[in-house]
Amino acid sequence: MKPRLGFLGTGWIGRHRMAALAATGLAEITAIAEPGDEAAAEALAIAPGARRVADLDALLGQDIDAVVIATPSAAHAAQSLAALRAGKAVFCQKPLGRTAAEVGAVVEAARAADRLLGVDLSYRHTAAMAAIRPLLDTGALGHVFGVDVTFHNAWGPDKPWFYDPALSGGGCVVDLGVHLIDLALSSLGWPEVTGVHSRLFHKGAPLADPAAACEDYAVATLDLAGGAVLRLACSWGLQAGREAVIAAEFYGTEGGASLRNVAGSFYDLRAERHHHIRAEPLAEPPDEWGGRVAVDWLTRLAGGARFDPEAWHLVTVAGVIDRIYGR
């Protein structure tokens, strides 16, 4: 029997993930909970057999096996907890929680319920990263001693709640840096982070209190077990000369590799292997990667997967973000 899915929130990203999951034919989309009439109508056009219900409680009252959550960040942890405690698997937009404590509570609920938990950390599922990862796994780059990860969004979020740290959990670090930290640490096999040093800025000035305002520019250095160093930079609204700057660059004793966006695109990513000053192409756009992590979660769910202990790494990433914020 196909898993029956309920969708909580069907804004742009919720509908995009819905379309990707519907296209697999692996699940039945049974119900949606969406307060906006226009967004709900567009979602029902993707899944005409679904029923629209009022809220999460009503959604959990439907005959469903899993909930896909695409709501504002402040609600993610509580909504995921409610779904897991009701015995439903969960796929949630990032961040899963605003702090490591929130994320840890959700992962523990997934473990206790023995339900599959997925989070939309999508960059490690790109074709570009898939081309780089074997170089890291086989040691082809030698000892990887340095990693630089970057995500500058020249626009920034378009919803007011993003700029309220009580609702969002922080600024560009929790919004964009979460992707970078997850990508880097997972690619390196989850080394222990032994030290974190960071500087946060708000409108060009040092941010003294991350609980009072959201940072729009951040740099951080993470010391890793084994002596490697990870450097992170991210921002909203930066005068970057293009819409976005996205990169993950790996430096080893026997070579390097990079994932970089093309011509300021948020979606087109290129991978290269570096031989000193020569670059060898590994992967080129186009690559329809946006819904790939959701499809991976659904494929495992349809195959009967339950709690995956890899979910504890979500707490690792959230803990690093807490340390960047000094909390």
Task: List domains and CATH numbers for the chain.
Answer: 4-121+291-307 (3.40.50.720), 123-288 (3.30.360.10)
**Residue 249, pLDDT score:** 98
Q: For 170-193, write each residue's pLDDT tens digit.
A: 999 999 999 999 999 999 999 999
Q: Give the tokens for residue 77.
A: 């942890």
User: Is the per-residue pLDDT at 1 higher than 90?
Assistant: no
How much is the pTM? 0.96
Which band of pLDDT confidence, cut at 50, 70 and 90, is reported for residue 210?
A: very high
What percent of the chain is predicted at pLDDT more than 90?
A: 100
Mean per-residue pLDDT for 209-223? 97
* 58-117 pLDDT, tens digit each: 999 999 999 999 999 999 999 999 999 999 999 999 999 999 999 999 999 999 999 999
User: For residue 111, which of 317, 318, 314 has the smallest C-alpha distance?
Assistant: 314
Whole-angstrom Cα distance, residue 150 to residue 173? 11
DSSP codes of every residue in 48-86: TT-EEESSHHHHHTSS-SEEEE-S-HHHHHHHHHHHHHT
